[in-house]
Amino acid sequence: MNLKSQFATITMSQELFHSSTPLELESGEILSEFDLTYTTYGQLNEKKSNVIWVIHALTGDSNASEWWSGLIGEDKFYDPSYYFIICANLLGSCYGSTSPLSTIPNSEQSYYYDFPELTTRDLAASLERLREYLKIEQIHTLIGGSLGGQVSLEWAYTLGKKLTNAVILASTAKTSPWVIGINEAQRMAIEADNSWGKKTIDAGKKGLEAARAIAMLSYRHPDDFQKKQLDFEEKLDGFRAASYIRYQGNKISKRFNALSYWTLSKTMDSHDLGRKRGGVKKALSEITAKVLAIGVNSDLLFLSEESRFICEHAQKGTFKEINSTAGHDAFLIEFEQLSYFLKSFYLENK
């Protein structure tokens, strides 16, 4: 990629975008206004050709250099010295963007359970508002994994020639019944919390812990548990795997909330790139950007063949597969393989 124009200093900025123009959602509901928190790294080059737009997964935030530190940062593949990197906290999330805990406009009340249903298409539409506000005419690479990959596909479809490359990691063009079932099991866990239904910040907190425990079993692979959570001593209780799952549940409850988790899991369920577009295959074939779909050989959530399907039906599709025992989360871990795939993709698509 011939995008390098070294800057004297690497700049990082965290900003809040407010849209006062109503956003009509697929459900027919309307958000009269909304906020998106976003983070930028680096600067636009003279040709404005170095934009890398990152879309986070279900419980991510806009600080992409933190949760993707092996890919984004000084001397990493996406180095802010060379690229202008943007990541916005998705609508519905709880890291500064409009969410169920936000105050309803012209009211003193929060949305809570009245927050509207969001689809991946709605999230893409909100990001489009931010792009227009930032006056970015061309995105060099749009990259996202899991839910972020779904939103990336939706936005890639509508961006058309304003997007050069789309990198879709461990994701799918349409959410499978398997994933919907896993997500529903998590929501049932939240519903079982007797605080669910109350209009408080901590509503469903213990249920969220159980939901995350369920999710972790789909994010990992049995081989990964065998390798990292095996007990070598004989015991009747207090197993490492049990402690690990409880730890993950407790960890998420300290940084996220059940209402946003519920909302975004429903958003994931809604994903269907082909809805009202003549089907998934037709919709994929109409994406004009070059598409790199990366699957994970051990992914139990979004199967690797779903990434291959994206590649096979995109106009300009390339498929790569991460080899890892880490399961779905490998796209957040296997940085060496990711960097190699990205380098090859860019070289082949100059």
Q: Among residues 140, 193, 328, 329, which one is catalytic?
A: 328
231 an active-site residue?
Answer: no
Sequence-ordered alpha helix ranges (H) in 135-270: 147-159, 177-191, 205-219, 222-228, 240-255, 258-270
Q: Which residues contact 269 (CB under 8 A, 6 or more apart)?
A: 175, 179, 180, 183, 184
* Kind plus residue range of the DSSP H or E element containing 316: strand 316-322
Q: Which whole-number Å values give the CA distances from 78 to 74, 126, 163, 292, 339, in the listed order?
A: 8, 24, 17, 16, 9
Is 299 a known active-site residue? yes
Catalytic annotation, pick one of 146, 218, 260, 270: 146
Using alpha carbons only, how large is the chain's radius of gyration in Å?
20
Residue 146 contacts residue 172 (beta carbons within 8 Å):
no
Which backbone phi and psi does 110 adopt, to 5 degrees? -85, 160
Task: Tell me if residue 246 falls in helix, strand or coil.
Answer: helix
| CA pair distance 196, 58, nearest whole angstrom | 20
Q: How far is CA 259 from CA 98, 99, 127, 248, in A?
A: 12, 8, 21, 18
Catalytic residue from among 65, 299, 307, 324: 299
What is the DSSP secondary-structure string of 36-104? EEEEEES---TTS--EEEEE--TT--S-HHHHTTTTBSTTSSB-TTT-EEEEEPPTT-SSSSS-TTSBP
Bridge partner list, 106: none
The question of whether 328 is a catalytic residue gets the answer yes
Helix (H) or strand (E) holding 322: strand 316-322
Residues designated catalytic: 146, 299, 328
